[in-house]
Amino acid sequence: MAFTIQLGSFAFNEEIAASDESGDISSGQPNPTRISWSKENIIKTHEIPWPSHKTCRTSKMTLWKCDMDFKIVTNTRVQQIQKMIDDVGPYYLRTPFKSAYMYIESFTANSEEGKNDHYFVCSMKLKERND
């Protein structure tokens, strides 16, 4: 059984009930197809002529970012994710690599030819909460 990725109350990797409007219940709501965590530390370089340059970390805490690509397969899921995007968060994101409270920074949804009306390939960018 795969690890279930979860963003707030929105759980990925769930079966779709037979009564749902998806039309194709064989795959259910899949986990994200790509999850990319990143963190950029801020390092300042002081250029000193001799004997070498010096470096200094300017902040002890920088923020994690997470980019995800995933599919939405039902109208119910479309409505859930729209509400979450409008509310922005923070939401608790749970993945095998890291779990943290995150804000939704940006979101895109693309429909694909030949799929049902509620099938979208989505991309979401999240940023760690530090209020």
Domain boundaries along the sequence of the chain: 6-128
Tens digit of each residue's pLDDT, the chain (131 residues)? 578 899 999 988 876 654 444 444 455 778 888 999 999 988 888 888 878 888 888 888 899 999 999 998 888 888 999 999 999 999 999 999 999 999 999 999 999 887 788 889 999 999 999 98
Cα-based distances in Å from 123 to 29, 44, 72, 107: 15, 32, 11, 6
Q: What is the pTM of this model?
A: 0.79
pLDDT at 22: 44
pLDDT at 27: 52
- Phi-psi domain of 49 (left: phi exceeds 0; alpha: psi -120 through 50; beta: other): alpha
pLDDT at 76: 87
DSSP-derived 3-state class of residue 122: strand
pLDDT at 49: 80
The CATH number of the structural domain formed by 6-128 is 2.40.30
* Distance (Å, whole) CA 87 – CA 118: 21
Closest CA relative to residue 106, chosen from 126, 82, 86: 126
* Distance (Å, whole) CA 87 – CA 91: 10
